[in-house]
Structure 1
Amino acid sequence: MAPSFEDGNSLFNFVVRDGNGVKGMVDLGLSKVPEQYIQPPHERIVKLNAIYADELSPIDLSKLDGPDHDQVADAIVNAAEVLGFFQVVNHGMPVELLESLKNAAHDFFGQAPEKKAAYRKGVSPSPYVKYGTSFVPEKEKALEWKDYVSMVYSSDVDALTYWPNECKEVALEYLKFSMDMVKKILKVLIAKLGVTLEDSKIDALIGLRMVNMNFYPTCPDPELTVGVGRHSDMGTLTVLLQDGIGGLYVKVEEDMDAGRKGEWIEISPVPGALVINIGDTLQILSNGRYKSAEHRVRTTSTKSRVSVPIFTIPKQTERIGPLPEVVKNDGVARYREVVFEDYMTNFFGNAHAGKKSLEYAQIIISSTST
């Protein structure tokens, strides 16, 4: 018997507890957005108001090892300081792999609900695989219009044993291809801070790796909902494959040439490109020089959208704080040192709320101090 979408408990149990997800609800037929998914007006994304970031050219990573290295490194650093996001091409990832990845995501979410629900928290065959919906549905005032499967990497053997059959091989290949690129970008960013880190420290900063597959079903009224609410990522660097539908928005934190501080711009998909964004960890390490990108996702009424992020995150035991050389240069520490496991617990314990997660490590500096 179909649930009543007018009844909050019935809807929550069907979508969240029983693992049918937003897709399961949409597949039953919806002519309007259920109340639980209607965002307050200030959180809605109005496509007609969108500003596009078409003038932000993708960065050609193949030039990092050539005569144009300094130019490319400067472009990466500038993007990290101003927007916290950039797109890269010629990244070494085969286009065929990226297409296979999008197809695998559709294959996974296209399964019968009970197949996906087998990976729900508490019943999943592995603590490293979780299927769910929204972000923290128990704490959200308005739910996000998204289903996802999250796969934490521990070893190749575990990945091939426990990750879903529909996507495990291509997801693992995607992760492996990404890591050289992530290390290369991270080394550029650290070097521009005037700091030299041992390879073991770089590895510790990206020691926890997670591949997510996100699915945003069609929505009868996209203006009322969000696919993902305003947030920044907690980790070091995020690699994102988005499909050609679009809907990713990034908030401008620092003034750009067009004077857009505080505005949201849509990141138009570029065929074959990957999106890189700075996470909270790198903002803390850089003492605020690099900006973790506050971003959100719009839903669509025309076609279901998929995206596949890789989150590179410090090991849970790692202590994260502003790098001493940067603090010495700045004359003040803007963040305190934290054990990353504690930061992660705080991050996942609250609903998305912009960059509020950074407050956990922030040191309030009085403007009256001299």
Structure 2
Amino acid sequence: MSTSIPVIDLQEISSEPPKLVQACDEWGCFRIINHQIPTTLMAEMKSVVRSLLDLPMEIKRRNREVIAGSGYVAPSKGNPLYEGLGLYDLGSIEAVHDFCTQLDASPYQRETITRYSQSVHDLAMEIGSKLAKSMGLDKDLFMGWPCQFRINKYSFTTETIGSSGVQIHTDSGFLTILQDDENVGGLEVMDKRSGAFVAVDPLPGTLLVNLGDIATVWSNGRFYNVKHRVQCKEARIRISIALFVLGPKEEAVEAPPELVDSEDRRLYVPVLFEDYRKLRLSTRLRAGEALSLLHTTNS
């Protein structure tokens, strides 16, 4: 039995649609290669991210929230090794520039963040289109959906080896594109079949895609909202850069009619992403359990 997550060549998805859908079904995550974001830009962005997260606390705290959790997150009792900066609505150039201004970004940093943001947002829209087509749907899945950007730093030390950098959770949105640290591991995902955690080792030049709770609702329970965590494996700083495709701003998420029939009844009630996000926060159910509150049998 394979214990490695699937690797998807983004340029070959059209000729192998079942491979993409199978990865979403069985793993809820996969690595992508041939994604068209230059490795030089990825390296430049990582360097910029590291410098921003090394800024004085008073500057980082200027990174304001638009929705809960979208701004600066300081180390906490629950996640003492983690801190992160956030940007809500990555598809808006105004929001990107506002983020840069909050942090006194230099012209070079601003230009790098802008180029990377546009590239990874375009990639998210491309993945949405290819995923819809792989499911037999003729639509652009993520068009107009707000996206959230998070840049993360894990301060691992010798004393913290074996402890948790971020606790077990699922992502609340539809899909996450992650540039993980090419030098420092620690990310683990839960194998859907065994329930065991599998290490996701770094693979330079690639990007990792995770599916979240909204993907499970949209696919009528077919796609796996993968549980994951970050463990401290070595005494080094770990940097990661994540784009979260959340959900439509004004429309409820529900399984398309093509994915529901007499044999596959609708499993979840339609839900606005913002309402679901608040439900997760209020119930503190952050590892996919909140989906049980949306079951049609509860309505």
So what's the TM-score if we normalise by structure 2? 0.86
- What is the aligned partner in structure 2 of residue 59 from structure 1? 8
- What is the aligned partner in structure 2 of residue 11 from structure 1? none
* Aligned residues of 1:146 and 1:227 also touching (Cα < 8 A): yes
Partners of 1:265 and 1:315 in 2: how far apart?
Answer: 31
Partners of 1:315 and 1:145 in 2: how far apart?
Answer: 32
Unpaired runs of 5+ residues, structure 2, are: none
1:103–1:187 Cα change, 3 Å: same
Partners of 2:41 and 2:163 in 1: how far apart?
Answer: 31
Report deviation, 1:305: 0.3
Three-state SS of the structure 2 residue aligned to 1:213 is strand
- What is the aligned partner in structure 1 of residue 115 from structure 2? 173
1:62–1:211 Cα change, 3 Å: same
Find the partner of 2:97 among 140, 155, 160: 160
- What is the aligned partner in structure 1 of residue 267 from structure 2? 334
Instruction: Indicate yes or no: 2:190 matched with 1:251.
Output: yes
Three-state SS of the structure 1 residue aligned to 2:185 is coil
Per-residue CA deviation, residues 5-58 of structure 1 (Å, 9 max, x unaligned), is xxxxxxxxxxxxxxxxxxxxxxxxxxxxxxxxxxxxxxxxxxxxxx995x4452
Deviates more, 1:157-166 or 1:283-292: 157-166
Q: How does 1:359-370 map to 2 (within 5 A)?
A: 359-364=292-297
So what's the TM-score if we normalise by structure 1? 0.71
1:129–1:344 Cα change, 3 Å: closer
Per-residue CA deviation, residues 306-348 of structure 1 (Å, 9 max, x unaligned), is 1000001123322111222212164311111112221121233
Q: CA RMSD of the aligned region, Å?
A: 2.8
Deviates more, 1:166-175 or 1:310-319: 166-175
Paired AA for residue 219 in structure 1: T
1:89–1:335 Cα change, 3 Å: same
Report deviation, 1:364: 4.2
Per-residue CA deviation, residues 135-187 of structure 1 (Å, 9 max, x unaligned), is xx5xx7x3352100011136213322333316543233222112333233223
Partners of 1:352 and 1:147 in 2: how far apart?
Answer: 21
Report deviation, 1:110: 1.4
Which 4+ runs in 1 deviate beyond 4 A?
Answer: 126-129
Deviates more, 1:158-167 or 1:83-92: 158-167
Partners of 1:56 and 1:194 in 2: how far apart?
Answer: 24
Unpaired runs of 5+ residues, structure 1, are: 1-50, 256-260, 366-370
Find the partner of 1:345 among 260, 271, 278: 278
- What is the aligned partner in structure 1 of residue 84 from structure 2? 148
What is the count of residue pairs matched by the alignment?
291
- What is the aligned partner in structure 1 of residue 252 from structure 2? 319
Whose radius of gyration is greater, 1 or 2?
A: 1
